[in-house]
A and B are shown apart, each in its own frame.
Chain A
Amino acid sequence: MLKSLKRSLATIALAASLTTAVQAADITGAGATFVFPTMSKWSADYNKETGHRINYQSIGSGGGIAQMKANTVDFGSTDAPLKPEELALSNLVQFPSVMGGIVPAFNVPGITANQLKLDGPTLADIYLGKITKWNDAAIVALNPGLALPDLRITVVHRSDGSGTTFNFVNYLSKVSPEWKQKVGEGTAVRWPIGVGGKGNEGVTAYVKQIRGGIGYIELSYALTNKVAYAQMKNAAGNYVQASNASIQAAAASAEWGKSRDFFLVVTDAPGADAWPIAATNFILMSKKPKNAEGNRQAREFFAWVYANGDESATQLGYVPLPDALVEQIKAYWAANFK
């Protein structure tokens, strides 16, 4: 009697666990480390609300693109947008998820954030190795009255390919013809000098460790790890600090309507208060997915994110997309997913 009771209880428990497993979906995604903090927060909140799990691997933009082309994940994420021709070749669609800013984080004893001012050409010269000390004439000229020490600059860049790198060198190419000619753009480039950290996390760790270090990281990493970051002079000639407001100003000046498949890089934006190194994170999904259910669940996740994810993204230092852009994205989905 007891044995059969135990057996039936076990069967009921097994059946119940199976049914809940069928209801709670496991959506896989891979890509940029840029959005990993906010993606984790969104996944946690989405899981609490709906029970579905998002499994996001922050392996870098190139990894996300490669996995999507191989159709092994439900969605990929990249900071370097793919051209419409490339998308068509692999049957992919692309749409923005969130925007953020890349900041030049630095570690100079005695100088706090907001005190240091840099501009595009100076930053390019630092990364080219032409400016080697913090009290170089060029930096002093931008920061009159600031006591810059006689300390060597250690450049920190990414050791892995990265969409963060892509946006950063895209900006440097726009503001420095020498950079464009000597180094160029891409998710991985031939860095003239410096040490390489793995991921945004690695660069942050190196900048925090090395006295005199400078590195480019996503704003949310700078905020959560309490690393100082410099003000930059934007295209309009004003010094701005990276913040929600300045990145939104950069987003506002971008002409999304004119782009095909949202192919647009928003660096060196023209607005008066725009942050010059703004970056957009793009989501890639397949038009002909291997896992149709996963694809649909992923789209539902992003619809939820656009509706409910704004506050958590803002808290982490990202900038949610403007409403007009979200409408464009929904229309794009309707056009591409039957």
Chain B
Amino acid sequence: MQATSAPSPAERSHRLDAFADWFFRNLVTIAGWFVLIALGLAALSMAWGGREAFMAFGPGFLTSTAWNPVTEEYGAAVAIYGTVVSTIIAMIIAVPVSFGIALFLTEVAPAWIRQPLGTAIELLAGIPSIIYGMWGLFVLAPFLADNVYPWVDANLGQVPLVGLLFAGPPLGIGMLTAGIVLAIMVIPFISSVMRDVFMTVPNRLKESAYALGSTTFEVVWDIVLPYTRSAVIGGIFLGMGRALGETMAVTFVLGNSHHINASLLMPGNSIAASIANEFAEATTPMYQSALLALGFVLFIVTFVVLAISKFMLMQLAKREGN
């Protein structure tokens, strides 16, 4: 057979390649596992830290509106309510606006404005969240308190059922203001995803629709959106994830009041804001445990939101026959 002399150059390079391949594959696998392990450990450490609170209060922790550091009674309901409601308000405002921005940038705007405007919107995403908080507190809140909320309270607040949502003193800080600030923070993310994905729609499809006499809106609603549905939904949930976890902007304008109020004009509290405000001063183990338990609940809420998005995407794919 072959002499047992040194391997030929071809063989050597082949072995080197094989080793490099093996090394690279393992490196990348480790990186992938690392992400999963880090996520798991983070969730586990929150759950472990919060075990005292979960054991002391049981499942009632999630529905209790108590938050009394003096008698050591804690409940997550107020924080969960605030997080969810402010996020819902943000999404209600942000999704149509982002859709409008993306539509404008891809279909309506003249060519010379598309690039600069797109860049300007993406710059909004780069502004630190605490700047949004300060702007919200010093500019938006007084403006709303003096000009908008009194009108809302006087007119919408008097309508029989819906009025409960809008009645209340015009403080300026509260759930609605927090929702508006969050919406502004989240719009750049959603609109840039939508814009990028609208641009991938083949021109042929759109041109065929125009040729058949569709209006711009019909083209976007019936051709572009269905084509890009999953990416658009993904972008929306990306924005929602950011809104759920937003801390500093919310704590400036939400009012940090541990009470649930039906009115959107009243202050509330959110999970991230509670933890940010109270963790440094939580000197008793039960207080700390309650805050860590809140962190774990936020983990679960984000997880549930993502799961819902995946489920929706699956349903849509099934309907299209995939």
Residues of A within 8 A of B (CB): 59-63, 65-66, 152, 154, 159-162, 183-191, 193-198, 205-206, 209-212
Residue B69 CB within 8 A of the other chain: yes
Q: Is the CB of B257 within 8 A of A196?
A: yes
Q: Which residue of A lies closest to B169 (CB)?
A: A152
Chain A residues closer than 8 Å to B172, beta-carbon distance: 209-210
Report yes or no: B173 in contact with A161, Cβ–Cβ below 8 A: no
**Known contacts A66-B280, A189-B70; A197/B256 CB under 8 A:** yes
B277-300 at interface with A (beta carbon < 8 Å): 277-278, 280-283, 287
Which of B67, B70, B171, B282 is the one whose CB lies under 8 Å from A195? Answer: B171
Assembled-state Cα–Cα distance A59/B69 (Å) = 18
In contact, A187 and B283 (Cβ under 8 angstroms): yes
B129 to chain A, nearest CB (A): 15
Interface size on B (CB < 8 Å)? 31
What are the residues of chain B within 8 A of A63 when measuring CB–CB? Answer: 280-281
- Docked pose: A111 CA to B251 CA in angstroms: 30
A sample of 7 cross-chain residue pairs with beta-carbon separation below 8 angstroms, ordered by A number, consists of A59-B280, A62-B280, A63-B280, A160-B280, A187-B69, A195-B173, A195-B257
Q: How far is the CB of B50 from chain A (nearest CB, A)?
A: 18
| Chain B contacts to A: CB under 8 angstroms | 66-71, 137-138, 141-142, 145, 169, 171-173, 251, 255-259, 267, 269, 273, 277-278, 280-283, 287
Tell me the bound Cα distance from A62 to B138 in angstroms. Answer: 28
The 8 Å CB contact of B70, one of A62, A186, A210, is: A186
* Neighbour of A188 across the interface among B69, B138, B273, CB < 8 A: B69
Residue from B68, B259, B277, B287 with most neighbouring chain A CB atoms (10 Å): B277
Known: A66-B281, A193-B257, A210-B171. 15 other contacts (CB 8 A): A61-B281, A62-B282, A62-B283, A66-B283, A159-B278, A160-B278, A184-B70, A184-B71, A190-B68, A196-B255, A196-B269, A198-B251, A205-B137, A206-B173, A209-B173
Known contacts A196-B256, A210-B171: A190-B70 contact under CB 8 Å: yes
A152 to B172, CA, bound (A): 14
- A47–B23 CA distance with the chains assembled, in angstroms: 55
Cα distance A160–B67 in the bound complex, in angstroms: 13
- The 10 tightest CB contacts between A and B, nearest first, are A161-B281, A62-B281, A196-B256, A159-B256, A195-B255, A190-B68, A63-B280, A188-B69, A184-B70, A159-B277
In the complex formed, the residue of B with least CB distance to A194 is: B257
* Candidates A65, A183, A188, A194; contact of B278 at CB < 8 Å: A188
B258 with A190: CB separation less than 8 A: yes
CB distance from A191 to the nearest CB of B (A): 7
Residues of B with C-beta under 8 A to A160: 277-278, 280-281
* Alpha-carbon distance between A190 and B71 when the two chains are bound, in angstroms: 9
CB distance from B73 to the nearest CB of A (A): 8
